[in-house]
Amino acid sequence: MNLRRLRLNSNIRDLVREHYVTKNDLIMPVFIKEGLDGKNEIPSMPGIYQFGENSFLDEVAECIDLGIKAVILFGIPKLKDSCGSDALDEEGLIARSVRKIKETFGDKIAVITDLCFCEFTDHGHCGIINPHLKTVDNDATLEISKKQAVIHAKAGADMIAPSGMMDGIVEALREGLDSEGFKHIPIMSYSTKFASAFYGPFRDAAESAPVESDYLPKDRKTYQMDVANAREALLESLIDQEEGADILMVKPALAFMDVIKTIKENTLKPLCVYNVSGEYSMVKAAAMNGWMNYEALMMEILTSFKRAGADMIISYHSKDAAKLIQN
Ligand code: PBG
């Protein structure tokens, strides 16, 4: 059997190539920090910045120029309190930011909002705390999540992405959005989200690390999934699909290719993967040390997500990848 015949000529290699990353696949995360003037590089994520309210539009403009289809927004408000009030305010940071992007750029780029409370609470957990159970109160958090979703939609968000891993969140948001006239706004659920060490750099970027106290754990293991569980990973996504999620997600991505493939084989919904902060930082660190080639490594990883079954990728590499891709 001669398999090398088709590898000899690069044009023929292109003809038989099974998977490509295109600009249509890429979503760029954008961190917006209230009160910041200009931009601030995140030490654990070289090349990625927190942007002030006077500079994030430049970042969005750059994404548009590069042909990226969507940004996903994360906010770092000045005010952090026990219930995440800034996220529940129509004049809050994310609502203001979405309005500004839409006023400036219209439909040139889709705006996705991450819907969670960890960046908005003083304890850093993803919702309202139940001190007796020493965790986030599921149903109380569903109620405020509905409010947050409607605020995002009213501000002009094109898609809402709940990332808090509360049970029943998709059903609750669908109901909340529909009853306020936002039946047309899709929900991209972080449907399978693991309690992962790969989120470390993000918590620097979003200033959202959970704070340890007598009545709260310093991790999110009471709501995010155990990294060891593959069957539960599928169940989580299938339940969100049943609740009405328009797009499912696996997060993190790189160490969870098996999960991506399994979910893809068991759903007809589009599947997003989140190439998270720690995955980005590992690649950057190796490249900056001269240990590996940044561009080759990045494209290999992104292509592998497509091979595993991803339809779209949230990645901090999105801008770098878009610069390399010609389509
Ligand atoms: C909010 C949220 C997190 C990420 C996206 N949305 C952090 C977390 O769960 O602590 C992580 C993204 C990344 O690591 O790049 N809940």
Q: Among 174-178, 252-256, 311-315, 323-327, which is the least confidently predicted range?
A: 323-327
The pLDDT value given to residue 327: 54
In a domain, 26, yes or no: yes
In a domain, 194, yes or no: yes
Distance between CA atoms of residues 211 and 163, nearest Å = 19
In a domain, 3, yes or no: no
- 227 CA to centre of own chain: 18
The enclosing domain of 139 has a CATH number of 3.20.20.70
Domain that holds residue 61: 18-324
The pLDDT value given to residue 237: 98
The residue count for the chain: 327
| Contact indicator for 32, 74 with CB cutoff of 8 Å | yes
Q: How far is the CA of 44 from the centre of ligand 1 (A)?
A: 15
Could you read off the pLDDT of 246-255 as tens digits, one per residue?
A: 999 999 999 9
User: What does residue 80 show for φ and ψ, rounded to 5 degrees?
Assistant: -120, 130
- Find the mean pLDDT for residues 114-120: 95
Q: How far is the CA of 291 from the centre of ligand 1 (A)?
A: 27
Would residue 193 show up in a list of annotated catalytic residues for this protein? yes
In a domain, 299, yes or no: yes
- Find the mean pLDDT for residues 9-21: 98
Report the number of distinct structural domains present in the chain. Answer: 1
- Find the mean pLDDT for residues 153-158: 98
- Find the mean pLDDT for residues 139-156: 97
Rg (CA), the chain: 20
**β-bridge pairing 39-41 and 110-115:** unpaired
Nearest Cα residue to 302 out of 275, 327, 281: 275
Q: Would you call 92 helix, strand, or coil by DSSP?
A: coil
Would residue 80 show up in a list of annotated catalytic residues for this protein? no
- Find the mean pLDDT for residues 161-187: 97
Could you read off the pLDDT of 226-247 as tens digits, one per residue?
A: 999 999 999 999 999 999 999 9
In a domain, 115, yes or no: yes
Alpha helix locations (H) across 78-168?
93-105, 138-155
Mean pLDDT, the chain, rounded, equals 96
Q: Which of 31, 71, 199, 256 is the best mutation target for the ligand 1 pocket, counting ligand atoms within 8 Å of the beta carbon and taking the most? A: 199
| Contact indicator for 28, 63 with CB cutoff of 8 Å | yes
Distance between CA atoms of residues 204 and 11, nearest Å = 44
